[in-house]
Amino acid sequence: MKATCNVIKDVLPLYLENMLSDDSCTMVEEHIEQCQECKNYLNEMRTFNEMPVDRNTSPLLKIKSTLRKKKIQTVIFSMMLSIILFVITIAFLTAPEYIPYSERSVTINEIGNGSVLAQFEDTVYGYDIDRYPTDDSTGYVYHITTWNSIWNRNIKKSNTNNTILNPNGENVVSVYYYQTDGSEDILMYGRDINPGGGIITLPRLFLSYYALIAKIFATTCGLIMFIFYRNKKVLNFTIKIFFLPVSYLLGQFIIKGFTTTSYTATRDFYGILLVMVPIYIACLMAVDLISQYKNKKYEGR
């Protein structure tokens, strides 16, 4: 029995999938050789089944690159945030808690050969000694204070060591104990160099000067950005510079709050720098993310 076109068309899908027996395949092929209509139908089916393959992988590579960049940005941002939190925690735990004067907190004794020894009690975990020559250049005046901290009391319980004030044989004229509450310094050893009035050790002020410089710098950058806001090259460069003083001011606020004076200004300054660096990097990343968002929004219009 000769197969009709309808029968051949019904079995062509099975023929394309190689699911026919040898005899059936022979029947289909013999029919196609004689029937142009079924042959065209078979060619159309083959064209339909063979979907075009796009071998251009650049869009996929672009997506992969974007995802990798976002992943790296997320990791870096998380690291910067962790560093900030770590520095803040350490700064809080090691912040000096100044000890009011008592005869037990520190004692001054001569130990021979003109050496003067400062001995600290067990509750003292840190101290600061400042000295300057007398007006008549006969020797030196010393100002001492002591402190402890949450870190030393609860985590690393290491007491401070006794120290010799004049290891090179300097003449110790006076030794005062200064407190951080604005009260007068207390004479512990030697003669009073100012018998007519009290001596008060004031906190250092250079953090105030740095904060003022940062404010002036940030204001100047702000004016430049306002004037050249149409010049993208100048604007982008100025924004990067602008976040330097801003990051410093934020770091100072985190470490010192609204106070810019300090009895441990050097320690506080290093703490500010440690917080400033990750804040600055985080700000640059935030600017970059905002710029990418604006560009995508613009391209979507």
Instruction: Render pLDDT for 272-286 as a digit per residue (tens, 0 to 9).
Output: 999 999 999 888 888
Q: What is the mean pLDDT of residues 97-116?
A: 86
* Residue 237 pLDDT > 80: yes
- Give the global pTM: 0.65
Separate counts of helices (H) and strands (E) for the chain: 8, 8
pLDDT band for position 51 (cuts 50, 70, 90): very low
Q: Which helix (H) or strand (E) holds 76?
A: helix 58-93
In order, the DSSP letters of 110-177 are EEETTEEEEEE-TT--EEEEEEEE-TTSSSEEEEEEEEE-HHHHHT---PPPPEES-TT---EEEEEE
Q: What is the mean pLDDT of residues 112-122?
A: 87
* Residue 165 pLDDT > 80: yes
- Residue 218 is predicted with a pLDDT of 95
- Residue 265 is predicted with a pLDDT of 86
* Residue 49 pLDDT > 70: no
- Residue 52 is predicted with a pLDDT of 46
pLDDT band for position 73 (cuts 50, 70, 90): confident
* Contacts for 20 with CB less than 8 Å, ≥ 6 apart: 11, 14, 28
How far is residue 143's CA from residue 166's CA, in Å, rounded to a whole number? 13
Q: Which whole-number Å values give the CA distances from 126 to 43, 166, 179, in the listed order?
A: 91, 19, 14
Side-chain half-sphere of 297: how many Cα atoms within 13 Å?
A: 6
